[in-house]
Amino acid sequence: MMGEVRTTCPYCGVGCGVLAKVAEDGSVALRGDPDHPANFGKLCSKGSALGETMGLDGRLLYPAFPYPSYTQVTREEHRQEKEERVHRHEDRGWT
């Protein structure tokens, strides 16, 4: 088991200090950093639930088109599709 790691909560612009500790089973325990000047050890509801977001379940881990149902594509295919969409919007006068 490793010691606690100082990090920052990613949810808003405050940048609250967080202490993270990884257990041997891979779970992560989080608590507010009492020495951090932004939050002095306190965490909001989102920061307190940060440990629940540490897994990869339900995350999109590759480029995909969301239609008809998240079809995996290459990065180049994804870039080309985005570029074509931008041009279609520009052609309609949308900026």
Residue 93 neighbours by CB under 8 Å, 6+ apart: none
pLDDT over threshold 90, residue 51: no
Dist CA 89 CA 95 (whole Å): 7
DSSP lists the bridge partners of residue 29 as: 21
pLDDT over threshold 80, residue 2: no
Would you say 20 and 27 are in contact if contact means Cβ atoms under 8 Å apart? no
Q: What share of the chain is helix, strand, coil (3-state, %, to 5)?
A: 25, 20, 55
- pTM metric for this prediction: 0.60
How much is the pLDDT for 14?
Answer: 94
